Amino acid sequence: MSGSRRSATGPPQGLDRIVICACRRAGIDPTSVRLLRHFANAVYLVGHDRPVVARVAYNAGVIQRSRTAVAVTRWLVSQGFPATTPIDLPSGCSQPVVHSEAPREVAVTFWSYYPQPPHSSSSKLEELARLARALHNVDGLPTIPLPTYEPLRSMRRDAVNSTLDERSLSWLSQRIDQLCDEYAQLDFPLGVGLIHGDMYAGNLLLDKLNRRFVLGDWDSVCTGPREVDLAPTFTAARFGLDTVSLGRFATGYGYDLRNWSGYSTLRSIRELSTLTALIRLAPVNTASASELRYRISTLQDKDHAAIWQAQ
């Protein structure tokens, strides 16, 4: 990526230090802090005997989104829905723990840790379909205000502040406008309600203690068309998911998104949204920069068969 534009979307400096500071404020021993994953957010494992997960979210709006995620998951658990559980902090302070890192917002939240088996379950897609259906059938809404789903909102903001070259940025801006115009014309047969907002198999975790799967990563929870929660799985063909697996997911949920007239628009929106984290990481991660260039190239060329690499 080239260009003179200064990126304000990359990760803040010293993520380890931020987590350690947040742990101390939360009353959690920061002696053992290990990075598990860093993509859209940074995820750390903290502690030995009774480990917990610390999630570091950064950039505009993350404080309110993190606060909403904690409140919604607590409410869902009270309704009997298997969501990942935020912990009660030993210090008694509320979540998220906010860290000052101008010009960004940085929010750290702490969650129960679910150690995962080395190999993914073959039934994961069916479980994801079942949980998607269960979430969409939850009665009522939590009492806290929820955002309304807006396609590609963060993508538009992050692209403007990115290090993308002018040609890619121009194409991306036009494509966002086109897809948002198409989205505004859609009719959604599944209706509007509480949605996860980023529902894909990677956010499904095995809770071995209770012998069930739980759904995690609630940073995008909002109200919106339920079809939005189905789009990530069907878009996973970009990452090699076969048509048989897609059929099992559709059967498990009870609706095949591919038969809906708005499918291509929603899939294209999801494909474009996968660039967001890559745009943030590209200035500091060569693998992310390379994958970002490849995805943009295949989208510009309308290469629908190209397989992307998961990050």
Q: Is residue 10 part of a domain?
A: no
Range of the domain at 98: 15-300
Give the total number of structural domains in the chain. 1
Q: Quick check: 52 and 28 in contact, CB under 8 A?
A: yes
Among 247, 267, 269, 37, CA closest to 125: 247
The CA R_g of the chain, rounded to the nearest whole Å, is 19
Asked whether residue 3 carries a pLDDT value surpassing 80, the answer given is no
Q: Quick check: 233 and 125 in contact, CB under 8 A?
A: yes
Q: Is residue 306 part of a domain?
A: no
Q: Is residue 4 part of a domain?
A: no
Q: Quick check: 135 and 195 in contact, CB under 8 A?
A: yes
Among 171, 61, 153, 43, CA closest to 108: 43
Q: Residue 100's beta-bridge partner residues?
A: 105
54-73 pLDDT per residue, tens: 999 988 889 999 999 999 99
pTM confidence score: 0.92
Q: Is residue 286 part of a domain?
A: yes
CATH number assigned to the domain comprising residue 73: 3.90.1200.10
Q: Is residue 2 part of a domain?
A: no
Q: Is residue 178 part of a domain?
A: yes
164-193 pLDDT per residue, tens: 889 999 999 999 999 999 999 999 999 999
Q: Is residue 256 part of a domain?
A: yes
Q: Is residue 309 part of a domain?
A: no
